[in-house]
A = this chain, B = another copy of it.
Amino acid sequence: MNRTPRTGIVSQRIAESRVKVRYAETDQMSVAYYANYFVWFEVGRSQYCNDCGFSYRDMEHETGLFLIVAEASCRYKNPARYEDELVVRTRITELTRRTLRFSYEIERVDGAAVATGETLHVLINADGRASSFPDTYLSFLRG
């Protein structure tokens, strides 16, 4: 008998969000500073949850659980510049009772590839201990 692992059926959902590059996000190379891409990924994750029918804010409140980041990575393709309109496409590539992996694609609205990335999250409770998603939220995420 197999422990069916991480994969199983993960949602085909792709969440789309828009961000417009802020002056604050540029640096003296006249492009968006590389750390800000991770903030845009977060905008994507937040949208993903909304699209699944819940708000990450409410999940924190209702369950007392937090999704901490265990790993994050980004590959930069073309620079994003001030006032560029970007599309962030977010999907889930892995879902277990305790972990969640998102992948991201960022494009300019004209279609130019800007970046791809990934984040791996672990669910913990207020004491910092690894926890499991309540069924409700697992269902939401499997969408």
Q: Are A69 and B28 interface neighbours, CB within 8 A?
A: no
Is A63 in contact with chain B by the CB < 8 A criterion? no
Interface size class of A (residues with CB under 8 A): 35 or more
A137 located at the interface, meaning its Cβ lies under 8 Å from any Cβ of chain B in the complex: no
Contact between A33 and B24 (Cβ–Cβ < 8 Å)? yes
The answer to whether the Cβ of A51 comes within 8 Å of any Cβ in the partner chain is no
- The answer to the question of A9 belonging to the interface, with a C-beta cut-off of 8 Å to chain B, is no
| Binary contact readout A71-105 vs B (1 if CB under 8 angstroms, 0 otherwise) | 11111100101110000000000000000000000
Q: Is A22 touching B39 in the complex (CB atoms < 8 A)? A: yes
Contacts of A34 in B (CB 8 A): 38, 69, 72, 119
Does the CB pair B38–A38 fall under 8 Å? yes
Closest chain B CB from A138 CB (angstroms): 21
A1: Cβ under 8 A from any B Cβ:
no
